[in-house]
């Protein structure tokens, strides 16, 4: 088969294979390799230095992304993400849909939403239980945008009796009304932190919006870049300068469109596998998680997808309770889904954990 190069790929696939577009660089003698794989490597050049360690047995506690050569079995191995799963947690105190959410899996915040009426109810999650905060939002609303963490959150936009631009800051105990958004709307998405947030998409009456606004901790400013696909009931994650927008609804139907924001402009990238609206989200621009929603038409789904900064992969694990309009928090590896509409309106909480496993590296 000739020779194979070394200096390892920057794209190790979840299947354990090496992305052929990156491959290996440097040179390993062809006599050490089978035609179809590198699972029978009989020697490993010392010139690799500290890039890859050679060990007689697999490390007992490897780190994610770690690569090593097992000199006993003569194979290259890695420790990487495997299929994740959802586990049922304790219910919220207030069942609701179209709820705002921020934080991590063990320190999350839920606020706003709708049951039989709009609510301003605020709850904090500690990794096990939800606790009611006696001080709710000053403006009860649903389908609002959210950014921040449990002790420093931002709530903006949403629906009262119409779309609103009302913005509130949370300090860990109370909500304070601050300067409103420039474009009042509902069904929008948000990301970032309390002092550096991003708002995008949503609905203004029957019209879908592509407007993007940035918050600096005091006031909102219109971004020079608008979404390429205007849509409502959209999801988003990331930071003010590295945002990700996905899903939503357009006049033509449910959308799978995905866009990345670089601080000034949106770029369309690979679409989701399942077009849907009113979905939940967690993560960052290069490692996002999408779950739940409505697709196609009126069908509620529990489908879960992972984004790696290039493309979406459908997980074999769906939400235990399929629902639309849930709240979301956390990371791609450790996420939280709460509330939503089954129907009926739900208080269900689920925790997502991405698996990690030792994999043998083969050539693809």
Other Cβ atoms within 10 Å of 34 Cβ, number: 13
List, edge to edge, every strand of the sheet that includes 189-193. Answer: 189-193, 196-200, 212-215, 220-222
> What residues have CB less than 8 Å from 210, skipping those under 6 apart?
200, 201, 226, 227, 228, 229, 230, 231
> What residues have CB less than 8 Å from 163, skipping those under 6 apart?
157, 184, 185, 186, 202, 203, 204, 205
Element (H, E) at 155: strand 152-156
Other Cβ atoms within 10 Å of 287 Cβ, number: 19
Pairing of strands 253-254, 17-18: unpaired
The maximal CA–CA distance of the chain, rounded, in angstroms, is 73
Supply the DSSP string of 169-193, one letter for each residue.
Answer: EE-SS-EEEEPPPSS-BBS-EEEEE
Q: Where in the sequence of the chain do the CATH 2.120.10.80 domains occur?
A: 92-347
Alpha carbon separation from 204 to 5, 166, 209, 235, 293 (Å, rounded): 55, 14, 7, 17, 21
Alpha carbon separation from 36 to 1, 22, 23, 101, 363 (Å, rounded): 9, 17, 14, 47, 7
Q: What is the pTM of this model?
A: 0.79
| Cα dihedral 16/21/23/29 (nearest 10) | 130
Contact 266, 294 (CB under 8 A): no
Q: Quick one: tokens of 114? A: 């709708």
DSSP 118: B
d(CA 75, CA 179): 59
Q: Give the pLDDT confidence of 33-75 residue by residue, as tens digits.
A: 444 444 555 555 554 445 678 888 877 756 666 787 888 888 7
> CATH number of the domain at 92-347, please?
2.120.10.80
pLDDT at position 75 is 76
The rounded average pLDDT for each run of 10 residues, N- to C-terminus, in the chain (364 residues) is: 45 51 48 48 52 78 72 76 86 98 98 97 98 96 98 98 98 98 98 98 97 98 97 98 98 96 98 98 98 92 96 96 98 97 97 79 60
Alpha carbon separation from 353 to 88, 128, 133, 330 (Å, rounded): 11, 15, 27, 10
| Cα dihedral 245/246/250/254 (nearest 10) | -170
Radius of gyration of the chain (CA): 23
Q: Quick one: tokens of 339? A: 């509330």
pLDDT at position 23 is 45
d(CA 279, CA 293): 4
pLDDT at position 329 is 98
DSSP 108: E
Q: Quick one: tokens of 358? A: 């030792």
d(CA 19, CA 12): 6
């Amino acid at each position: 088969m000739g020779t194979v190069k070394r200096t390892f790929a920057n794209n190790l696939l979840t299947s354990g294979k090496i992305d052929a577009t990156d491959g290996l660089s440097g040179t390993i003698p062809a006599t050490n390799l089978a035609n179809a794989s590198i699972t029978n490597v009989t020697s490993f050049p010392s010139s690799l230095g500290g890039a890859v360690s050679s060990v007689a047995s697999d490390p007992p506690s490897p780190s994610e992304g770690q690569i090593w050569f097992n000199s006993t079995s003569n194979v290259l191995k890695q420790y990487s993400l495997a299929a994740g799963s959802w586990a049922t947690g304790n219910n919220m105190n207030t069942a609701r849909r179209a709820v705002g959410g921020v934080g991590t899996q063990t320190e999350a915040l839920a606020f706003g939403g709708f049951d039989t009426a709009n609510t301003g109810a605020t709850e904090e999650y500690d990794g096990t239980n939800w606790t009611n905060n006696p001080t709710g939002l000053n403006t009860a609303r649903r389908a609002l945008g959210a950014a921040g963490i449990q002790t420093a959150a931002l709530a903006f936009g949403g629906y009262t009796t119409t779309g609103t631009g009302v913005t509130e800051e949370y300090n860990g105990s109370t909500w304070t009304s601050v300067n409103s958004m420039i474009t009042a709307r509902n069904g929008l998405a948000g990301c970032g932190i309390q002092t550096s947030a991003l708002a995008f998409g949503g609905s203004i009456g029957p019209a879908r919006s592509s407007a993007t606004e940035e918050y600096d901790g005091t006031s909102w400013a219109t971004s020079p870049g608008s979404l390429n696909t205007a849509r409502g009931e959209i999801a988003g994650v990331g930071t003010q300068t590295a945002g990700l927008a996905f899903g939503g609804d357009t006049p033509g139907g449910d959308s799978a469109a995905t866009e990345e924001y670089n601080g000034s402009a949106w770029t369309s990238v690979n679409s989701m596998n399942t077009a849907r609206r009113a979905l939940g989200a967690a993560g960052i621009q290069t490692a996002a998680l999408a779950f739940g929603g409505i697709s196609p038409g009126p069908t509620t789904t529990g489908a879960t997808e992972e984004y790696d900064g290039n493309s979406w992969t459908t997980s074999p694990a769906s939400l235990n309770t399929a629902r639309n309009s849930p709240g979301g928090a956390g990371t791609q590896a450790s996420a939280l889904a709460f509330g939503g509409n089954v129907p009926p309106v739900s208080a269900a909480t689920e925790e997502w954990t991405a698996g990690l496993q030792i994999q043998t590296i083969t050539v693809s």
